[in-house]
Amino acid sequence: MHLFTALKNLAAPTEVQAHCDLPCGVYDPAQARIEAESVKAIVTKYHDSDDEAFKTRALLIKEERSDLVKHHLWVLWTDYFKPPHFEKYPHLHQLFNEATKLAGGGGGTKASLDVAVAQQLLDKIAEIDTIFWETKQA
| Per-residue pLDDT tens over the stretch 58-71 | 999 999 999 999 99
pLDDT of residue 6: 57
Dump pLDDT digits (tens) for 12-58: 565 655 554 554 567 999 999 999 999 999 999 999 999 999 999 99
pLDDT of residue 34: 98
Summary mean pLDDT of the chain = 89
Question: Which domains, and CATH codes, for the chain?
Answer: 28-137 (1.20.120.400)
Query: Is the model's pLDDT at 105 over the cut of 90?
Result: no
pLDDT band at 1 (very low <50, low <70, confident <90, very high): low
Q: What is the Cα–Cα distance from 97 to 86, expressed in whole angstroms?
A: 13
Query: Is the model's pLDDT at 116 over the cut of 90?
Result: yes
Of residues 4 and 100, the one with the higher pLDDT is 100
Q: What is the Cα–Cα distance from 122 to 119, expressed in whole angstroms?
A: 5
Q: What is the Cα–Cα distance from 112 to 39, expressed in whole angstroms?
A: 10
93 secondary structure, DSSP code: H
Dump pLDDT digits (tens) for 76-103: 999 999 999 999 999 999 999 999 999 9
Within 13 A of 22's CA, how many CA atoms are on the CB side? 8
3-state secondary structure of 39: helix
The total number of residues written for the chain in this structure:
138
For the whole model, what pTM was predicted?
0.82
pLDDT of residue 66: 97
Distance of CA 22 to the CA centre of its chain: 17
**Residue 72: exposure state from Cβ atoms within 10 A (0-12, 13-18, ≥19):** buried
